[in-house]
């Protein structure tokens, strides 16, 4: 079930950006493409982690570690 | 004069005539006749059904009666030359075949003019024999008012332009002709008031029209779809009207009108959101009733779009909004229904749309009866059969009725079709869904422009002067400035002070 | 620059007000009331005064480098430390966007508890992404229309809740000394630090000279709007009770009755939250996209809108495991984070830029000799 969600998620994410990506390829704007790809990749990773409920230190925890005191 | 129908085995002609006839070959309604004027051999060429026979006969008569006054002139060519000059004077100009070519004669023949061709002398004249019949001027079917003029546009561009010129008798009213459509060669006219309209917008209209490449223009809607700002948006960015007074009002505001031959619907550009909630009658009524009616229309738009969604949201998700007695009553209406409110609402709306669409095409005789039957009886039967709740029927009926408040057909469509996604959003997310849907539409509206003018002006780029015409309708003596977005050249409409009875001391009678 | 739009001074001020106010009424409120209880209003006033530091710094900075957004300023004028600072700012925008989206989901989950969090995230991001894609002008215009409506409704709501309020609950003043007030004030100051996002919008305002005045008005109005909610729940429920509530304004609105037909005006609260959070999310999302595009020297920010949308969506789920974590984040990290990014850094940048200018002038004068 989780696998299905993940696949659907990835497919949806890529499909939605596909048009703009194709446009970027046509205009040879490789920086744009790289940026889009990087962000999307990161998003997909996070998304899959969320779907599978992997326990990774969440952002809130990370930030709290940075704060030297607990107000 | 012997009349020759154009047939392949007709007598051989000289070059230009043959060229012309070849273009029209296989058409049996093209007529060619020989005529003798001032001793010169000429030919009349015309399309049989397009001309006014009486006009042609009259012109023929006056031409053949022309007597040549200079019999003393001995030089043949000189004679011919002078005769040509005489004809040119009498027939107002003429086309030289060497200069303009035979092709320039095609359009006039197609429009109903008769070509008088002198082949050896390579001259042609156009005789005005166009038959300008057509529907008589009458009140338009789609746009009826209680108080106001009762003439409407017809299908002939010349008559329509006449109706406009009759009302705006100003030399500043400019007309520019364009022909569009490869096969239909429809005549289009751009009309605007030079001292008021924004030249940039006029230029934009010209540019966009010249970009049109299509086989046929049958209705002004073709043009609208081909030059509009946002073809994918459900919101109209150009207005169309069948009434001359509406078009002239727009022209006076600085808008550009596009008149199309063959349809009584004249387009205006640019158009903004608030315009579609206005009706001409607002201006013919008093300020107070007109303002109230405007508010009612705006309310109608909201109801038409959001009422079913609201109903679904309240009964499904936000039940705690209502106090208990009302809640129990509403629950009672839906007592035995096996499916959720959302489905019920969707189903009812859909049915209503079907009935409405069907009603449009029914012949008049049974149309009304069937629509009433459809709605009342089917609705009642559905309630009794336990398929829908009575309240639902009421909600849907009210919604449907309020859509007719809107004066613009495009807006009615928008309201009807956005009510469906709103339903879904409401059913899933309640009020939040409705608000998000509203925000989505708002975002779209805020980004829309009509020929450069922001769609939500004068509300969004706020021009306080123009608010007099938006939120309420100020009396005429207060409407002194035009909307700066379109009527940028000439801001001041009127200078009339507030009307008052004559001051007894200074102005009174006696 | 990449954004061709222009917004008027009023529109930019309104955007700032909407973004700040919604966060205030939703979240900062809990912080302030739980710290300062019945003296929340004192904390608010002091906090606003402190917050002015950040506001003035950001405005000044923007006026000093006309036409450049915060990110552009950092990239062009501060060499490599500037670039690092810019990335930090982008992360900051990202974090705040995540926070806002997540809060949206959590807030609605408390009403519609059967709907999964993801659904809320998806739908708010859809509308938000659309608005961001359409551009700054569109967002400004939308806000210009919606904010007056919201303000009017807020006044109506405030009026309707009056009979339930007992303002004597606001005493005693400074009963427990300055400490609780101070803590609350810091939260408020942190809250105002968020105005640094305006650093991404200010360059596109039509009349830059009048910005200081406009932003001061923003602060003043935000404070005034905040005084209501900071006193209301206390007046209605008493200090200790109010301090315990997760969403005090929400609880407050529940008590309204309008005649026989309507009660429990939750729906009104829904309107505020949805619209307010929508604008807030849109602005930070916009700042993120625009800033990244400027950092990467792209021609427009539009291709980034969709990918960032996905990232924000996934990110907001990752942001915290449950509401408890969010709570501790808010109480622990939120204020210091904002104060740093919104007040300390801008002031630092301002002083640095002045210093650099002076050094440069000295160099020129020295070279002339």
pLDDT average, residue stretch C67-95 = 82
**Residue C172 scores a pLDDT above 70:** no
Are C307 and A64 within 8 A, CB to CB?
Answer: no
Number of cross-chain residue pairs from B and C with Cβ atoms under 8 Å apart = 89
* pLDDT for position B191: 92
Q: Which DSSP string do the residues of C317-341 spell out, in sequence order?
A: HHH-SSHHHHHHHIIIIIHHHHHII
Q: CA-CA distance, B382 to B351, in Å (whole number)?
A: 11
Interchain pair A71, C310: CB under 8 A = no
* Whether C95 and A63 lie within 8 Å, measured CB to CB: yes
> Which has the closest alpha carbon to B452: B119, B210, B200, B165?
B200
What average pLDDT does the segment B109-116 reach?
80
Share of chain C above pLDDT 90, in %: 7
- Sequence-separated contacts (24+) of A11-15 with Cβ below 8 Å: A13/A40, A13/A43, A13/A44, A13/A47, A13/C310, A14/A40
Query: Residue B119 pLDDT more than 50?
Result: yes
What percentage of chain B exceeds 70 in pLDDT?
Answer: 78
C21 has pLDDT over 80? yes
CB nearest to A40's CB, from C296, C310, C333: C310
Q: According to the model, what pLDDT value does residue B122 have? A: 73
Mean per-residue pLDDT, B107-128 = 78
Percentage helix, strand, coil for chain C under 3-state DSSP, each rounded to 5: 85, 0, 15
Non-local (6+) Cβ contacts of B90 within 8 A are: B63, B66
Q: Give B 318-347 residues with CB within 8 A of chain C.
A: 318, 320-323, 325-326
Given a contact cutoff of 8 angstroms between Cβ atoms, the answer to whether B40 and B80 are in contact is yes
Local confidence band at C202 (pLDDT 50, 70, 90 cut-offs): confident
- Report the residue from C98, C186, C297 with minimal CB separation from A59: C98
Cβ atoms of C89 and C74 within 8 Å: the answer is yes
For chain C, the chains sharing at least 3 beta-carbon pairs closer than 8 angstroms are: A, B
pLDDT, residue C130, reads 93
| C interface with A, Cβ–Cβ below 8 Å | 95, 98, 183, 186, 292, 296-299, 302-304, 306-308, 310-311, 313-315, 317-321, 325-326, 328-329, 331-333, 335-337
Query: Mean per-residue pLDDT for B251-258?
Result: 88
pLDDT at position B11: 36
Q: What would the mean pLDDT of C39-49 be, rounded to a whole number?
A: 83
Regarding chains A and B, contact by 3 or more CB pairs under 8 A is answered as: no
* Chain C CB within 8 Å of residue B401 CB: no
Chain C residues lying within 8 Å of A11, measured CB to CB:
none
Q: Does residue B346 or residue A51 have the better pLDDT?
A: B346
Taking contacts as CB-CB distances below 8 angstroms, the residues of chain B near C112 are: 317, 429-430
Q: In which band, very low, low, confident or very high, does the pLDDT at A66 lie, cut at 50, 70 and 90?
A: low
C-alpha B176/C-alpha B323 separation (Å) is 64
Asked if A48 and A11 count as a contact pair (C-beta separation under 8 A), the reply is: no
Q: What is the pLDDT of residue C278?
A: 92
Residues of chain C neighbouring A45 (CB-CB closer than 8 A): 314
> pLDDT tens across B405-457, in order?
887 777 888 888 888 899 999 888 888 899 999 999 999 988 888 887 888 87
Residue B237 in this model has a pLDDT that exceeds 90: no
Residue range A9-31, pLDDT digits in tens: 888 888 888 888 887 788 777 87
Give B52-91 pLDDT, tens digit per residue: 888 888 888 877 777 665 555 566 667 777 777 777 777 7
Residues of C in contact with B316 (CB under 8 A): none
Three-state DSSP at B268 gives strand
Tell me: the pLDDT tens digits for B445-455? Answer: 888 888 878 88
Q: What is the pLDDT of residues B331-361, one digit of tens each?
A: 777 666 777 888 888 888 888 888 777 777 7
List, for residues C320-360, the tens digit of each pLDDT value: 777 777 777 777 777 778 888 877 888 888 888 788 778 87
> In sequence order, what are the residues at sequence separation of 6 or more whose Cβ sits closer than 8 angstroms to the Cβ of residue B65?
none
Check pLDDT > 90 for residue B226.
Answer: no
Contact C333, A67 (CB under 8 A): yes
Highest mean pLDDT among B107-121, B133-147, B164-178: B164-178
Whether A35 sits inside 8 A of C296 (CB atoms) is yes
Tell me, yes or no, if C262 comes closer than 8 A to chain B by beta carbon. yes
As a residue count, chain C comes to 369
Residues of B in contact with C119 (CB under 8 A): 428-429
Please give the residue of chain B at the shortest CA–CA distance from C5: B447
Is the pLDDT confidence value at C245 over 70? no
Can you give the pLDDT at residue B81? 73
Q: What is the mean pLDDT of residues B99-121?
A: 76
Above 60 in pLDDT, residue B478? no
Shortest Cα distance from C210 to chain B (angstroms)? Answer: 19
How close C130 gets to chain B, by Cα (Å)? 8
Chain C closest-CA separation from residue A32 CA (Å) = 7
Cross-strand pairs, B116: B44, B125
CB spacing of B456 vs C271 below 8 angstroms:
no
For residue B128 the two structure tokens come to 């005005």
Q: Which helix (H) or strand (E) holds B3?
A: strand B3-5
Contacts of C296 in chain A (CB under 8 A): 31, 35
Is the residue at A71 inside a domain? no
Q: Which of C274, C275, C280, C285 to mutate to test the interface with B (most CBs of B within 10 A)?
A: C274
Find the residue in A nearest to C331 (Cα). Answer: A71
Half-sphere exposure of B354 (CA within 13 A, CB side): 8
Given an 8 Å threshold on Cβ–Cβ distance, is C142 in contact with B439? yes
Grade residue C362 by pLDDT with cuts at 50, 70 and 90: confident
Specify the pLDDT at position A9: 84
Domain limits, chain B: 3-127, 157-271, 284-454
Least confident stretch, A53-67, B157-171, B378-392: A53-67
B203/chain C closest Cα distance in angstroms: 23
Rounded percentage of chain B residues whose pLDDT exceeds 90 = 5
Which residues of chain C are within 8 Å of residue B428 when distances are taken between CB atoms?
115, 119
C310·A13 Cβ contact <8 A: yes
> Which stretches of B105-193 are DSSP H helices?
106-111, 157-167
Is A53 within a domain? yes
Q: Do C123 and B436 make contact, defined as CB atoms within 8 angstroms?
A: yes
Question: Which of B245-249, B294-298, C235-239, C244-248 shows the lowest per-residue confidence on average (mean pLDDT)?
Answer: C244-248
C151 touches chain B (CB under 8 A): no
H helix intervals, B168-219? 199-210
Whether residue B130 contacts residue B52, with contact meaning beta carbons closer than 8 Å, is answered with yes
Q: Which residue from C112, C123, C261 is facing B323, i.e. has the nearest CB?
A: C261
Work out the widest C-alpha separation in chain B, in whole angstroms. 112
Mean pLDDT across chain B: 78
Of A43, A49, A61, the CB nearest to C307: A43
pLDDT of B438 reads 92
> How far C336 CA lies from chain B's nearest CA (Å)?
32
- CB contacts of C130 in chain B (<8 Å) are 440, 443-444
Q: What is the overall mean pLDDT for chain C?
A: 80
pLDDT value at C264 more than 70: no
Q: pLDDT at position B71, please?
A: 56
For residue B127, the cross-strand partners are: B114
Identify the sign of the CA torsion C193, C197, C199, C201: negative
Query: Is there a contact between B433 and C145 if contact means CB atoms under 8 Å apart?
Result: no
Note whether C33 and C233 are within 8 A (CB). yes
Least confident of B141-150, C154-163, C257-266: C257-266
On the question of pLDDT at C131 being above 90, the answer is yes
Residues of C in contact with A59 (CB under 8 A): 95, 98, 315, 318-320
> Which pLDDT belongs to residue B14?
46
Q: Is any Cβ of chain C less than 8 angstroms from the Cβ of B174?
A: no
Distance, CA of C54 to CA of C68 (rounded, Å): 18
Q: Note whether C251 contacts B: Cβ–Cβ < 8 A.
A: no
Please give the residue that has the higher pLDDT: either B391 or C240: B391
pLDDT at residue C112 is higher than 50: yes
- Chain C residue with CA closest to A12: the answer is C310
Q: What is the pLDDT of residue C1?
A: 40
Nearest chain C Cα distance for residue A56, angstroms: 8
> For the packed helices C345-368 and C40-64, what is the interaxial angle rounded to 10 degrees?
30
For position B72, what pLDDT does the model report? 59
Q: Is there a domain that residue A62 lies in? A: yes
Q: What is the Cα–Cα distance from B345 to B388, expressed in whole angstroms?
A: 8
Q: Which residues of B touch C145 (CB under 8 A)?
A: 442, 446, 456, 459-460
Determine contact: B467 vs chain C, CB below 8 A: no
Given an 8 Å threshold on Cβ–Cβ distance, is A17 in contact with C306? Answer: yes
Confidence tier at B485 by pLDDT (50, 70, 90): low
Write down the architecture of domain C9-368 according to CATH: Up-down Bundle (1.20)
B377 shares contact with chain C (CB less than 8 Å): no
Q: Is residue A9 part of a domain?
A: yes
Grade residue B10 by pLDDT with cuts at 50, 70 and 90.
very low
Residues of A in contact with C116 (CB under 8 A): none
Dihedrals phi, psi of B35, to nearest 5 degrees: -145, 150
Q: Name the residue facing A24 among C303, C310, C326 (closest C-beta).
A: C303
Q: Which residues in chain C are closer than 8 Å to B325, comparing Cβ atoms?
A: 260
Which of A42-56, B154-168, B363-377, C311-325 shows the highest mean pLDDT? B154-168
**Banded pLDDT at B8 (limits 50, 70, 90):** very low
Residue C117 sits at the chain B interface (C-beta within 8 Å): no
How many domains does chain A contain in total?
1
How would you class B184 by CB atoms within 10 Å of its CB: exposed for 0-12, middle for 13-18, buried for 19 or more?
A: middle
Domain assignment present for residue A60? The answer is yes
Domain extent for A10: 2-66
Does the pLDDT value for residue B246 go beyond 80?
Answer: yes
């Amino acid at each position: 079930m989780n696998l299905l969600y993940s696949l659907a998620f990835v497919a949806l994410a890529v499909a939605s950006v596909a048009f703009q990506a194709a446009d970027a390829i046509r205009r040879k704007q490789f920086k744009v493409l790289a940026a889009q790809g990087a962000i999307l990749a990161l998003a997909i990773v996070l998304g899959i982690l969320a779907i599978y409920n992997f326990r990774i230190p969440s952002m809130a925890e990370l930030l709290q570690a940075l704060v030297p005191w607990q107000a | 004069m012997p009349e020759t129908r154009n047939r392949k085995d007709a007598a051989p002609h000289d070059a230009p005539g043959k060229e012309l006839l070849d273009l029209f070959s296989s058409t049996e309604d093209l007529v060619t006749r020989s005529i003798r004027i001032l001793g010169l051999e000429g030919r009349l060429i015309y399309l049989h059904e397009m001309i006014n026979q009486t006009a042609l006969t009259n012109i023929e008569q006056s031409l053949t009666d022309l007597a040549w006054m200079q019999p003393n002139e001995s030089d043949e060519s000189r004679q011919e030359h002078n005769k040509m000059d005489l004809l040119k004077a009498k027939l107002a100009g003429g086309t030289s075949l060497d200069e303009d070519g035979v092709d320039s004669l095609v359009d006039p023949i197609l429009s109903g003019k008769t070509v008088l061709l002198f082949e050896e002398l390579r001259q042609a004249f156009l005789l005005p024999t166009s038959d300008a019949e057509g529907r008589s001027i009458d009140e338009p079917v789609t746009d009826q008012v209680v108080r106001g003029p009762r003439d409407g546009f017809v299908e002939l561009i010349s008559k329509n332009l006449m109706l406009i010129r009759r009302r705006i008798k100003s030399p500043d009213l400019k007309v520019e002709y364009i022909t569009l459509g490869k096969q239909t060669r429809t005549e289009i006219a751009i009309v605007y008031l030079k001292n008021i309209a924004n030249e940039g917008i006029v230029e934009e209209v010209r540019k966009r029209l010249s970009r049109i490449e299509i086989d046929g223009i049958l209705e002004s809607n073709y043009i609208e779809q081909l030059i509009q700002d946002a073809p994918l948006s459900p919101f109209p960015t150009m207005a169309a009207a069948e009434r001359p007074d509406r078009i002239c009002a727009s022209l006076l505001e600085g808008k550009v009108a596009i008149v199309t031959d063959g349809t009584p619907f004249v387009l205006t550009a640019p158009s903004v959101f608030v315009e579609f909630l206005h009706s001409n009658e607002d201006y013919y009524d008093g300020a107070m009733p007109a303002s109230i009616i405007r508010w009612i229309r705006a309310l109608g738009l909201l109801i038409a779009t959001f009422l079913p969604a609201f109903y679904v949201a309240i009964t499904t998700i936000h039940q705690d909004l209502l106090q208990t007695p009302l809640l129990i009553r509403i629950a009672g209406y839906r007592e035995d229904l096996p499916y959720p409110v959302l489905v019920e609402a969707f189903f009812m709306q859909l049915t209503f749309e079907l009935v409405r669409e069907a009603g449009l095409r029914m012949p008049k005789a049974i149309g009304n009866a069937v629509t009433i039957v459809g709605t009342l009886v089917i609705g009642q039967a559905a309630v009794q059969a336990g398929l829908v709740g009575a309240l639902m029927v009421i909600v849907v009926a009210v919604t449907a009725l309020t859509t007719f408040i809107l004066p613009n057909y495009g807006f009615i469509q928008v309201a009807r079709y956005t009510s469906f996604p709103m339903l879904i959003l409401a059913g899933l997310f309640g009020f939040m869904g409705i608000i998000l849907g509203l925000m989505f539409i708002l975002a779209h509206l805020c980004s829309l422009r009509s020929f450069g003018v922001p769609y939500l002006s004068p509300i969004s780029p706020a021009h306080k002067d123009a608010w007099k015409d938006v939120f309420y309708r100020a009396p005429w003596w207060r409407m002194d400035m035009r909307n700066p977005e379109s009527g940028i050249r000439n801001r001041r409409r009127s200078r009339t002070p507030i009307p008052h009875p004559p001051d007894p001391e200074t102005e009174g009678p006696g | 620059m990449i954004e061709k739009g222009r917004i008027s001074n009023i529109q930019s001020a309104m955007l700032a007000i909407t973004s700040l106010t919604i966060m205030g009424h939703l979240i900062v409120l809990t912080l302030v009331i739980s710290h300062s209880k019945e003296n929340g209003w004192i904390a608010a006033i002091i906090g606003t005064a402190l917050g002015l530091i950040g506001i003035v710094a950001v405005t000044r900075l923007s006026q000093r480098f006309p036409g450049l957004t915060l990110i552009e300023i950092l990239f062009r004028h501060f060499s490599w430390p500037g670039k690092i600072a810019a990335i930090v700012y982008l992360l900051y925008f990202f974090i705040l966007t995540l926070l806002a989206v997540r809060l949206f989901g959590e807030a609605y989950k408390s009403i519609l508890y059967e709907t999964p969090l993801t659904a809320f995230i998806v739908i708010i991001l859809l509308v938000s992404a659309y608005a961001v894609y359409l551009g700054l002008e569109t967002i400004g215009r939308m806000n210009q229309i919606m904010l007056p409506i919201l303000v009017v409704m807020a006044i109506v709501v405030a009026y309707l809740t009056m009979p339930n309020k007992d303002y004597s609950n606001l005493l005693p003043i400074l009963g427990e000394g300055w400490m609780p007030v101070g803590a609350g004030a810091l939260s408020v100051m942190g809250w105002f630090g968020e105005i640094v996002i305006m650093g991404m919008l200010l360059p596109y305002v039509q009349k830059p000279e009048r910005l200081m005045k406009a932003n001061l008005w923003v602060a003043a109005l935000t404070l005034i709007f905040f005084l209501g909610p900071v006193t209301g729940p206390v007046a209605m429920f008493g200090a200790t009770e109010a301090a315990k509530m997760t969403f005090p304004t929400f609880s407050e609105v529940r008590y309204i009755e309008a005649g026989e037909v309507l009660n429990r005006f939750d729906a009104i609260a829904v309107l505020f939250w949805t619209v307010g959070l929508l604008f807030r999310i849109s602005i930070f999302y916009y700042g993120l996209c625009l800033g990244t595009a400027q950092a990467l020297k792209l021609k427009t920010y539009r291709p980034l809108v969709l990918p960032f949308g996905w990232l924000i969506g996934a990110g907001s789920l990752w942001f915290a495991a449950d509401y408890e974590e969010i709570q501790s984040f808010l109480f622990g990290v939120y204020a210091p984070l904002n104060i740093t990014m919104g007040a300390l850094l801008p002031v630092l940048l301002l002083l640095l830029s002045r210093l650099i200018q002076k050094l440069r002038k000295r160099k020129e004068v020295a070279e002339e000799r």
